[in-house]
Amino acid sequence: MRTHIQFLRGQNKVSLSDFHPTMTVLEYLRSIERSKGTKEGCAEGDCGACTIAIGRVKNGHLVYQPINACIHFVGMLDGCQLLTVEDLHVDGHFHAVQQAMIEHHGSQCGFCTPGIVMALFTMFHAGSKPVTKSEIRDWLAGNLCRCTGYRPIVDAAFEVMQNPANDHFSKHATETVHLLDELNDRMDVFVGDDEHYFASPGDLTCLTDMYKDNPDALLVNGATDIGLWVTKQLRSLPALIHLGRVLELTKIELDTGSVTLGAAVTYADSEKIMAGLDCDLAALWKRIGAKQVRACGTVGGNIANGSPIGDTPPVLIALGAEITLRHGATSRTIPLDEYFIAYGKQDRKPGELLVSIKIPRPQENQHFRCFKITKRFDQDISAVMAGFLIDVSDGVITKARIAFGGMAATPTRAHQTEIALVGARLDAPDSWNAALEKLEQDFTPLSDMRASAEYRSEIAKNLLLKTLIELAGNDQVQTRLTGKRVVGHAAS
């Protein structure tokens, strides 16, 4: 057992053995280390002013991801490399990303600039080159700039992203991988005392035993929900157990009939696999938070938090997903829709945790669709989220699984609508009416700041209609912003 966390700050090893469990990385940087380059804007993961880069070894390679330091707990840095804007100025020279921002006049007041530079630094180190302006906009969806305007920033990024990454950090990548491998000793970590602690178990048995014995502790996955409980609700969270170092929970298992995500798999790490299941899932994954949120946030956290407006539960319920929960050494598996009992109440007993999510692959006769309805396209929480899985044989609907978020106190199936759809013919729109009417009986939505009850009811019906029009293959109706759904592409 280690009683300190250890991480790389640039190339130097840092050990911390005395910090409050909910100290954020931003607080550590600005108040302890006194590195003030990283800014605080919203303190809730929305604006990107606090973006830093976290380096990790994945499949033997050094990977940099952008992270919101304002909602990331310092204990979660164990085994990572932490880079901030201060690290980019090497041997008296600006980084190529910084130089491009200067040359394209990408900064005015400069408050957003360190965050934008760090987000672009991670893009500079990611994937294949050259990149398109649309990819740059997607990468920067979590970074707001209020005075420069995005055109010069995107122009700067476009210029610098055309060439493969060749900088101080790529030159030292082998050394960094070696240093990070040394830090990742898989030991259980416990920092604090009986009342206040940040624990980070190194394997599943230690995690499940620890949580069973300490059911009042709070499990922390990516902290993209929990971080805000600290910064916005000012809640005191004295005992945290972090899941991110448990290898068993970060695995993705693939077989011919299903995909199984460990409960600590992030949106970023599951993006390609989910895109392979369906192009609507590719589009949805791109619209969950922004890069910074997707680098940390997990499907496990999205389910476990029990929110009625989480994006993934309706979709996974429609697909027929099952979840496995574990209490000590005892596991059980249940259909995901049975997990959500009532608002704020889930089928999870004290000391029990979610370990995996098994998602069946849609079969040949099954048609999947999902739609996210928000006020803003990027980085917004759903007003309504819908998932459809429709079985069709010879043009007749033989079975339907339909689930909605934002329509009730929990993510919920539209049972009456599902029954009414059976027997409907895709080439006879009149036969759809019964099901469209039943949607009103399945749900009594609320009005809130995201949408009125009437809007929610209307949009839910329209989403079902849109699905049926697409399944019927009616090319006369444009159902997508981009024209039509193209299988193999990220639909929108």
Q: Give the binding site for ligand FES (CB under 6 A).
A: 40-43, 45-50, 68, 70, 107-113, 145-148
Interface positions, 381-410, toward ligand FAD (CB under 6 A): 381
CA distances (Å), origin 415, targets 67, 202, 420, 467: 40, 42, 9, 17
C-alpha–C-alpha distance, residues 481 and 32, integer Å: 48
Query: Least distance to ligand FAD from the beta carbon of 246, Å?
Result: 9
Interface positions, 186-225, toward ligand FAD (CB under 6 A): 218-225
**Cβ neighbours for 478, distance < 8 A, ≥ 6 positions apart:** 484
Helix (H) or strand (E) segment spanning residue 314: helix 312-318
Residue 304 binding target from ligand FAD, ligand FES, none, CB below 5 to 8 Å by type: ligand FAD
The answer to the question of residue 45 lying near ligand FAD (CB under 6 A) is yes
The alpha helices in 239-298, defined as continuous H runs, are 267-277, 279-286, 291-296
Q: Which of 55, 66, 152, 310 binds ligand FAD (CB under 6 A)?
A: 310
Q: Which is nearer to ligand FAD, 50 or 304 (CB)?
A: 304
C-alpha–C-alpha distance, residues 281 and 371, integer Å: 9
**Cβ neighbours for 39, distance < 8 A, ≥ 6 positions apart:** 49, 50, 111, 112, 114, 115
C-alpha–C-alpha distance, residues 88 and 51, integer Å: 13
Q: Which is nearer to ligand FES, 32 or 341 (CB)?
A: 32
Residue 300 binding target from ligand FAD, ligand FES, none, CB below 5 to 8 Å by type: ligand FAD
Query: Least distance to ligand FAD from the beta carbon of 424, Å?
Result: 31
CA distances (Å), origin 67, targets 14, 53, 72, 366, 416: 19, 6, 8, 37, 43
Tell me if 301 sits within 8 A of 357, measured CB to CB.
Answer: no
The answer to the question of residue 46 lying near ligand FAD (CB under 6 A) is yes
Q: Which of 107, 298, 366, 412 binds ligand FAD (CB under 6 A)?
A: 298
Q: Are strands 345-346 and 340-342 parallel, antiparallel or unpaired?
A: antiparallel
The answer to the question of residue 21 lying near ligand FAD (CB under 6 A) is no
Q: Quick one: how far is CA 231 from the chain centroid?
A: 19
Q: Which is nearer to ligand FAD, 137 or 425 (CB)?
A: 137
Interface positions, 270-289, toward ligand FAD (CB under 6 A): 288-289
Q: Which is nearer to ligand FES, 227 or 300 (CB)?
A: 227
Site for ligand FAD, rule CB under 6 A: 44-46, 218-226, 243, 263, 288-289, 293, 296-298, 300-302, 304-305, 310-311, 353-354, 379, 381
